[in-house]
Chains A and B, each alone.
Chain A
């Protein structure tokens, strides 16, 4: 599973692009910086680390 720091996220959506199991989606609420942050849906994460590899703001921690 993953945790995404809502405050650091700039809504670039690159994690959504690379996630192979599509367990990340863009939120519909604004974070404190004014971005729509990425949100982990809680679905089947394989800890492949693709999201962490591409996140430009080190928002994501990954657990296996």
Chain B
């Protein structure tokens, strides 16, 4: 008998603090596997955001820096411009990236900064207790949309992959999901591709992962995956939105 699956080396042994069924743990593991498989551990700097994953640095034994809410793409710009040989990964949630940090993500993408952003989209705010996010669906309840998100007061959700795809500079933009084995595999492949493109100096890479938040969606983990399939994935179609150098064929 041979071991064919185990904890990746870039993660230490500390148990995750995330809720049962949370998508963060899954993506942390995939990211660490990709770092290991590409041999990037010694060059990696991981940026932890503000959100449930503020303590992502507890788990990754790469160099780490914690950033202010939304600022990670600016911090990443500084890191990468200071040390172009490093592999810079910005790991952000939907409050961090799509609310507080909308300026930072758009401009880092527009400048074509050569680092990778992993965007965890679970359509809600986790750490602060389940408030509406810019990605919350119309009609979805949250602690600050108790009657369901009402477009009259809260507008419509942001589709970040599509927004960034209107920019010329980004090299690779893909949205994936964690709902089944096929999409879990796609997610891992996308993360690894993004890091590989970064190490080749190809430019700005962005992977948006639709993830579960059972606690703040108010359902159990398996129901959370059901809801992801029935509601989240129709709103946020998975797929590749850009896989080309600036100015070359669209995707």
Residue ranges of A at the interface with B (Cβ–Cβ < 8 Å): 1, 7-8, 10-14, 17-18, 35, 47-50, 52-58, 60-64
Contacts and interface: CB of A to CB of B under 8 A. Distances in A.
Given A56-B26, A63-B4, A17 B18 contact: no
Most buried by B among A35, A53, A56: A56
Contacts of A61: 3, 5-6
Contacts of A49: 4-5
A57 B15 contact: yes
Contacts of A1: 1
Interface bin, chain B: 20 to 34
B55 interface: no
Given A1-B1, A49-B4, A60-B5, A14 B185 contact: no
Contact of A18 (B1, B11, B16, B180): B180
Interface of B: 1-7, 11, 15-16, 18-26, 29, 178, 180-181, 184-185, 188, 214, 220-222, 225
Contacts of B1: 1, 63-64
A58 B7 contact: yes
Given A35-B20, A53-B184, A63-B3, A17 B15 contact: no
11 contacts: A12-B214, A48-B181, A52-B5, A55-B26, A56-B23, A57-B18, A58-B7, A58-B25, A61-B6, A62-B3, A62-B6
Contacts of A7: 15
Contacts of A17: 222, 225
The 6 closest A-B pairs by CB, nearest first: A56-B25, A62-B5, A10-B20, A12-B21, A12-B221, A12-B20
Contacts of A56: 16, 18, 20-26
A8 B59 CA distance: 14
Contacts of A50: 181
